Structure formats: C-alpha cells, structure tokens
Structure 1
Amino acid sequence: MINNLPDHERALWILKTKGDLPLTALADILQVTVEGARFQLLKLAGEGLVKANTIAKGRGRPQQVYSLTPLGQARFPDTHADLTVRLINTMRSTLGDDALDAVIKAQQKQATERYTAELKPMQDLSQKVSALANIRNAEGYMAEMEKDGDGYLLIENHCPICAAATACQGFCKAELDTFKSVLGKQVKVERVDHIILGARRCAYKIEEK
C-alpha cells in the first residue's frame, strides 16, 4: 500500500507507523537518497506536518530525528469524531452510564463473535495474532504484528475511534477484553502502550501462559 502513495504521503505514513526517525533511516525506507529525503522533509516541515528534534545518544554527537506534528497526526483522522463524542455525551446525559455500558457491551459481543469466527481456522498463536492484526488493519487501526521474545506484539499505529475512547474509556476496556476472549484462556494479553495515555501507538503483548 505504501508504495502506491505519493512521495510526501509515504513519508507521513512511515513516521506514523515507525515513530521518530533520523534522516538516513527514513531515506532507506523511502529508497531515495539522503538529499531526496531531506527535500521531502523540508517541504513537509514547511507545511507544518513534520518537525525535527535533536536528541542526545550516549557520548556521540546529538542526532536529529523527525516526527509528525499535531497537524501531521491529523492527516490520519478519527472517524466521525465530533458526531461520535456528541452521541456519547447525549446518551450519558439522557440515558445514564448504564445504557452507555450496555451499548459498548453489545458492540463488544458482536466484535467477539466476528473475530472468533475469522480466527477459528488458525492453528497456532502466531497465525491467530497475524489474522487479528489483518482484521484490525482493515478496520483502520494501521495494525501489524511483531515477534517479541517468546510472544508477539499486536501494534495499532492509529486509533480511528480515539475521540470516542477519550470520551469513554469503556471502549478501550472492551477492546482489551475482546482480544483476551478471542485468543483464549491459555493466552495472556497485556496492553503495554496506550494512545489515550500519550503513547504514539497502542500495543498489546500476547504470549502463551
């Protein structure tokens, strides 16, 4: 997918999914020269989409890394954010928290049933986490799987319901509970990064108990 994007959008996508990167690393991923990458970043910086920060690493020279600005992050929007938050607040004020919880639980039940059906053919944990990442990616979470020691990381680089999750963290709890349910009782699932708490991404450590 990334290779089909215009050059400037490819750079934004990389910084969104990989986090802060130095110029040389970004050039390698883009498969362009360092000067070519610098030209793209200067253009993006001029548009207010990226910024450069200087960080110290050990005793060596400080290194300049690039990251997305809030305006750059906004290129990956929260789906129907304003309407969603208004609906949540209206439901909470008119029907109460119990009604809102009931709606979240109903949505969780539907997601659990759908994910369980799609993961049913998978034989081992690796296949299940990979399939779950593909499902979440299709839902807009920019999800991927990474091997991590004896287990795996399910990484979500974007949250398309971030505004809703901020307004009501019951959505985040339901997400974690859904993952635990579909992966089974013999699997430990722990959230280790959380966008709502200021992390760049949401990430879940998944391993056999």
Structure 2
Amino acid sequence: MVSLDLLQSETKRRLLELMKRRGEVTLSDAMEVIDRARPTLRDHLDQMGRDGLVARRTKQQGRGRPSMCYRMTPFAEQLFPGQEATLFADFLTHLQEKGHGPLIEDFFEAFWDARLEKVKDRLTEPLETAGVQQIVNVLEEVLREEGFMPEVHLDDERVVVQECNCPFSEIVDATDLPCASESCFYEALFERVERTAHIPEGDSACVYELRVLDGNEA
C-alpha cells in the first residue's frame, strides 16, 4: 500500500491530514492551519484532484458566493494505515468456515454490479452504442476512484487495463471471489477477457487484455 510519507509535498500531506481529521475543508479552513498563500493551496488541491486524491463540491452558505469544499477520495483514504482490510479478511474466513460461502459470493457480485452501473450511468449513451474510447475513459475514472491506480491503453483491437494497486490485497488470501467477480465486470463491458498478470501470484500489477465488443467499434 502507498504510504502518506511517500508524498513528496509536505503541504499535500498536511492537507490530507486536515481532511482526514475534519472530513471536508474549504480553502479558508486550510489557510487557518497551513501557512501557505491561497493560490498555492488551491494549486495543490487542484493537482491532488487530478491525481485522484481529492474530490470537491460547492456549498452554498447564505447569500454570498458558494464555497468550494474538498474531501479525500477512497483512494486517498488508503494512504492512512488501518486494520479494516485485515479484519474483513478474517471475517470472510470466519464466514467460509461457518458454511456461508454463497453469501460471500453474492457480496462480491453485488460489489462489481454496482461498479458496472456506475460506468453505465456516466456514459452519455447506452453501453451497447457507446464508443470504445468513451467506455475506456469512464472505466479508468471509476477504477481510479476505487483505488486501483489504473493505466488503461486502447488500440485498434483491444483494451489493456493495468491495475497497479489491489484494494483486495488483504482479502484474496482468504478468497479469490473478488477476482472472479471482477472478470465478470469486464466481460459485461467487453467481449473477451484475458488476465495476463495477477498481483496475488506475485506480479507487480493485475493486467487484463480485453477485446472490444463488435457493437462498440465507434
């Protein structure tokens, strides 16, 4: 897992720590705590947004101009060590030992079904008629938000998805169901799926090669 200490900017680290403590902050909030000029803090937050670390929204307060509020993304949350993944893996092992394997399978199927719906919702037209480039762009966006650190490449015949981080790294030792359900997710977007690298098998990334659907050649 990437560590908060690996961020090269002390200001970015302090911004993330502030958001971790408060949940959501404005530029004015950040200026009260961090001794940096407003444009400097805004530039850092904009860069962190492009890196998938920060999400933002506008908040209306009274009759004045709305304020821009910033919060960490799920990917940024992974920079802060915790025991949740280990506890969840132990919980899955316990369920399996108690004979509740089908319940675990249902959970991960529902997880990837929800991500599939998220992709569909962000497309400007139905999946069946959407262009490959549009699908790829939305797919990369969703994977980034979910913490997979994706690198996605498209050529004339296939899409190659390289997932440089595995949010399930602590879980796959207990069950391979997250990976099986993930393959179904890709198959719903593309015709054929081949996994050519797998983090649980010692590779540095999970890599999927996907042939585009005939109907999505636009």
What TM-score range do you get, normalising by the shorter chain? 0.5 to 0.7
Tell me which residue corresponds to 1:190: 194
Q: Structure 1 stretches (4+) deviating beyond 4 angstroms?
A: 74-79
**Are the counterparts in 2 of residues 77 and 160 from structure 1 also a CA contact under 8 Å?**
no
Q: Distance in 1 between matches of 2:206 and 2:165?
A: 8
Tell me which residue corresponds to 1:142: 149
Give the structure-1-normalised TM-score: 0.56
Segments of structure 2 that go 5 or more residues without pairing to the other structure are: 1-6, 10-77, 214-218
**Are the counterparts in 2 of residues 153 and 204 from structure 1 also a CA contact under 8 Å?**
yes
- Equivalences, count: 137
**Structure with a larger share of its residues in helix:** 1
Partner letter of residue 144 of structure 1?
Answer: E
Q: Distance in 1 between matches of 2:102 and 2:204?
A: 31
Q: Distance in 1 between matches of 2:8 and 2:98?
A: 46
Q: Distance in 2 between matches of 1:176 and 1:78?
A: 28
Please report how far the alpha carbon of residue 96 of structure 1 lies from its aligned counterpart in structure 2 after TM superposition: 2.3
Q: Distance in 1 between matches of 2:124 and 2:83?
A: 29
1:126 aligns to 2:133 (yes or no): yes
Cα root mean square deviation, aligned? 2.8
User: What whole-Å deviation, never above 9, does each CA across 1:168-190 have from its counterpart, x for those lacking one?
Assistant: 10110101101111x15xx3222
1:180 aligns to 2:174 (yes or no): no
Q: Distance in 1 between matches of 2:155 and 2:174?
A: 32
**Are the counterparts in 2 of residues 79 and 160 from structure 1 also a CA contact under 8 Å?**
no
Please report how far the alpha carbon of residue 144 of structure 1 lies from its aligned counterpart in structure 2 after TM superposition: 1.7
1:170 aligns to 2:177 (yes or no): yes
**Are the counterparts in 1 of residues 136 and 152 from structure 2 also a CA contact under 8 Å?**
yes
Segments of structure 1 that go 5 or more residues without pairing to the other structure are: 8-73
Tell me which residue corresponds to 1:104: 108
